Amino acid sequence: MSDSTAVANGAAGAETQHAHPPYQRHHFETVDQQFDATNFAMWLFLLTEIMFFGGLFTAYLIMRNWYYPAFVEASHQLNIGWGTANTAVLIVSSFTMAMGVWSAEMRKKGLLMLFLGLTWILGMMFLGIKSIEYTEKWEKHHVPGLNWSDATFLNPASDPEVFKEYHDKPLPPDMAEKTEMYFFLYFAMTGMHALHMIIGISILTFMFVRAKAGAYTTGHVTYVENFGLYWHFVDIVWIFLFPLLYLISRY
Amino acid sequence: MSAATIITLPDQSTATIPKMNFLSKENGLLSWLLTGDHKRIATLYLISITFFFFIGGALAGMIRLELLTPQSDLVAADTYNKLFTMHGVIMVFLFLVPSVPATIGNFVIPMMVGARDLALPKINLLSWYLYIVAGCMMIWTMASGGVDTGWTFTTPLSTHYLNTHVISTGLAIFVAGFSSIFTGLNFIVTIHKMRAPGMTLFRLPLFVWSNYAASILIVLGTPVLAITLVLIVLERTVGIGVFDPAKGGDPILFQHLFWFYSHPAVYIMILPGFGVISEVISTFSRKRVFGYTAVAFSSVAIAVFGFFVWAHHMFIMGISNYAALVFSLLTMLVAVPSAIKIFNWAFTLYKGSITFETPMLYAFGFMGLFTIGGLTGVFLGATGTDIHLTETYFIVAHFHFVMVGGMLMAFLSGIHFWWPKWTGRMYPEKISQLAAVVTFIGFNFTFFPQFILGMLGMPRRYAAYPPEFQVLNVFSTAGATILGVGYLLPILYLTWSLKYGEIAGDNPWQATGLEWQTQSPPLTENFPVIPIVDHEAYDYEWLARQQQKEVASVG
């Protein structure tokens, strides 16, 4: 089962049954088996990720049912403009990532680097916008546990910018304090999502360097493809977070 | 199967340890620490879980010693709380969950399906390193004062009322959880994608089926525990209030999320044990497992039902009566596939040619003890009796019968069964049989009195108890001493056998699994040529034919 060097020059597509491209690991019988197995493993990993976020979503649904008025009013504090922009940024980044996978399959090194770079930039843009939003929360004392006050919800008129748009009524004190729960979940869910983005961007950086060295354009696209799955998954999580957190009173 | 896969005849008297095997291939510490070989990683796991088993066991010994007398005199009540908490955490997360899958499963599953390695060898190694990180965090926790929440981390106790190392323990379990996720994921991929030609799903040994079912539970359940522990840690660090009633959160939600993992975790722990028992019972009664398909599907059924019974841990915690009713009913359902297994093993024994080698003795121990453990589980699944029995020693006895009497017996059975394959050497037969019997006796002495104690109303998790319970507690502690000897013996003679044991040969038990058709210890790549499978699992006639053919062709 020694690695054959006959196909080292990017001729992997034409390999015969007995010639093994250099990227085939010794314990796999064929390249197809290797691809199938790693791809399947990635899907399983994403399944565990769904269960991981699932715990938070369960908590969210229960709390939202109990404290609906507080959740509505608290959600008005989020900036739908920024949220929509971020959704757009992520959807575009999913497109560039998909194009990156395509470029790797087509063995276009330049294009692959371009699309990986674009995805990296869009990912950073998302985090940038997110940090603007987080900063705003901090300034308004809406960071539970660290910098918290429910004054805005006891007296919505004290926040003219939001009041102008929604004309929220003051919440009774016992409901107003439940807005803290909304922000707990807001920070837990978007924070966990942002953590996944940061991990994704770190891997993208690594992949960009490897792509520059020509690692993914010799027929071995598994790594790019599996990372693409991860990236799309993180996007999809946001696609759920956006309506659940930003658009509570809009439908 | 092609004749090429059988390398030598199982002639024990002239057997030698093959020069080339996975143990001898490379030397040096780095060749172990950076290995991708599933057999070496399994060996690393075996050493590490044994280490934690003895730490957990020592803690159990202290608990039993404290309970020898009604007063809390050996240790203070606080220390006692820490002892049973760390005993639970270490035994559950660092021993029972990885015990059979990460050691025996890691070692034999690739060989059983006819593959050269698990699908993802690097992830397998990463899994072991995560385990070690989790273990180090646990040791740090112990050294710096311990944790006393009970292994269930009940909120708000764990978040508001205790000031021990909940955070480091929580993170340790988080890391250990990912270690087991990676093992489970690897198994599922391997079983789906790495099977040898001709190895259909229904030709797989039942050990593979039960580990597959356990892996599904690991992959779906563990992440929920992970996020729950993250929320606990966040509650303690930045005051996030999802489980805090004062902030509108709900401690019952914690219970739901925790038991959504921790009930399936019971099956994560026991299912691989079922697999071992299927292999051992079949091999030592020379019969195909009775109702192979039913046993295979009962594993899957346990995995499915296992996800819908978690609230039976919460009957007294304020869930609605209707929910309790439904969960009680569903709990009874799990008894059905478990019973299918026990009955099928019994029918496998029926009219079989039974021999009483050590693995078989442990397997018999398993069948008896697991049956008691399982049936007392039905007591606890019934809402009426549960309200009387829960949080008493009855529960302690029940899950120790399942986890220790069941799983640990199965683990030891498996270790004794595959030891000759693993090391190429036999252990001394008589003394190992003695150890199996001593374990069985010691176990019953330790835990049977606890059923009675629980019936009488002795609550669990207290350092002191009314004097009228002392007689039974003395029984239990005395039994624990015997049990300790039972566990110490295998360590001694198995270590001894590494150097002085008789050479086992390739297939000392005349078993049919593919792992027995290769040399002992196996080659790093398991098989010189990937076998082509043309027979069902446990086909002893195939094995006999195979040997006749070998005899004819050799001479």
Minimal-distance CA residue of chain A relative to B530: A29
Count of CA atoms in the C-beta half-sphere (13 A) of B195 = 16
Q: Residue A95 domain-assigned?
A: yes
Q: Using a CB–CB cutoff of 8 Å, tell me whether A46 touches chain B.
A: no
A195 touches chain B (CB under 8 A): no
Closest listed residue to residue B279, CA positions, set B511, B21, B27, B16: B511
Say whether B526 sits in a helix, a strand or coil.
Answer: strand
CATH number at residue B401: 1.20.210.10
Question: Does the CB of B122 have a partner CB in chain A at under 8 Å?
Answer: no
Chain B residue numbers touching A48 (CB-CB < 8 A): 181, 185, 219-220, 222-223
B8 pLDDT more than 60: no
Is the CB of A37 inside 8 Å of chain B's CB atoms? yes
Contact A130, A89 (CB under 8 A): no
Pick from B185, B228, B247: CB nearest A180: B247
Tell me the per-residue pLDDT of A142-182, one tens digit each, with 9 for 90 and over. Answer: 998 889 998 889 999 888 888 888 888 899 999 999 999 99
Give the CATH number, domain containing residue A157. Answer: 1.20.120.80
pLDDT band at A18 (very low <50, low <70, confident <90, very high): low
- Assess whether pLDDT exceeds 60 at residue B11: no
pLDDT band at B552 (very low <50, low <70, confident <90, very high): low
Asked if the Cβ–Cβ distance from A62 to B189 is below 8 Å, we say no
Does any domain span residue A13?
Answer: no
Q: Where do we find the tokens 């090194």? A: A109
Which amino acid appears at position B376 of this protein? T
Segment A28-82, tens digit of pLDDT: 888 888 989 999 999 999 999 999 999 999 999 999 999 999 999 999 999 999 9
- ipTM of the prediction: 0.90
Query: How distant is the alpha carbon of residue B107 from its chain centre?
Result: 14
Q: How far is A78 from chain B (nearest CA, A)?
A: 19
Chain A positions touching B192 (Cβ under 8 A) are 40
A91 within domain boundaries: yes
CA distance A243 to A246: 5
Chain A and chain B share a number of CB contacts under 8 A equal to: 116
Between residues B8 and A46, the one the model is more confident about: A46
CA-based nearest residue in chain A for residue B237: A145
Q: What is the extent of the structural domain holding B293? A: 3-554
Per the structure, the count of domains in chain A is 1
Task: Give the span between the Cα atoms of A144 and B470, in whole angstroms.
Answer: 51
Chain A residue numbers with beta carbons less than 8 Å from the beta carbon of B120 are 37-38, 41
Q: Is residue A129 part of a domain?
A: yes
DSSP state of B350: T
Residues contacting residue B314 through CB under 8 Å, at least 6 positions apart: B252, B255, B256, B259
The minimal CB distance from B116 to the residues A27, A38, A41 is found for: A27
- The pair of structure tokens assigned to B499 is 């150097």
Q: Are B489 and B431 in contact (CB under 8 A)?
A: yes
Taking the C-alpha atoms of residue B509 and residue B506, their distance in angstroms, rounded to an integer, is: 9
- Number of domains present in the structure of chain B: 1
Domain that holds residue A225: 53-250
The conformation of residue B245, written as its DSSP 8-state character, comes to: G
- Give the nearest partner residue to A26 out of B116, B253, B256, using CB atoms: B116
Q: β-pairing, A142-143 with A147-148? A: antiparallel
Residue identified by tokens 């597959």 is B212
**What gap in Å lies between CA B374 and CA B371, rounded to an integer?**
5
pLDDT tens sequence across B131-172: 999 999 999 999 999 999 999 999 899 998 988 999 999 999
The predicted model gives A227-243 an average pLDDT of 96
pLDDT of residue B13: 65
Is residue B3's pLDDT more than 50? no
Q: Is B30 buried (19+), middle (13-18) or exposed (0-12) by CB count in 10 A?
A: exposed
**Residue B34 CB neighbour total at 10 angstroms:** 12
State the pTM of this model. 0.92
Chain B contact probe: residue of A42, A44, A146 with most B CBs at under 10 A: A44
C-beta of residue B418 within 8 angstroms of C-beta of residue B108? yes
**With an 8 Å Cβ cutoff, are A177 and B248 in contact?**
yes
